[in-house]
Amino acid sequence: MVVKDVTVKNRAGIHARPAGMIVTLANKFTSQIFIEKDDDKINAKSIMGLITLGVLCNTTIRLSAEGADEGAAVEALAKLIDNRFEE
């Protein structure tokens, strides 16, 4: 299992468009991928889960993945988030 904490820096947090980008990217990997905020843990391949997580600007979230391509999955998602969803 690979785990990495990242801080969401885009001003609107994770709303519909960033959630869609996360889901699209996550679905390119075979690993199980999760995002955690506080005590909530959701599947990164679920757009509804991401939107209901309520991630705002400057919120730190934990990415985790388990599977054959876990390292690549976590790094790709971390890069997307660090790049502010290409805003």
Domain boundaries, the chain: 2-86
CB 4 within 8 A of CB 60: no
Is 79 in the active site?
no
Given 9, 15, 62, 84, the catalytic residue: 15
Whole-structure pTM over 0.75, yes or no?
yes
CA distance 53 to 42: 8
Alpha-carbon distances of 31 from 28, 51, 72, rounded to whole Å: 9, 21, 10
- pLDDT, tens digit, 9 for 90 and up, residues 9-34: 999 999 999 999 999 999 999 999 99
- On the question of pLDDT at 87 being above 90, the answer is no
Confidence of residue 63 (pLDDT cuts 50, 70, 90): very high
Taking every pair of C-alpha atoms in the chain, what is the biggest distance, in angstroms?
33
- CATH number corresponding to 2-86: 3.30.1340.10
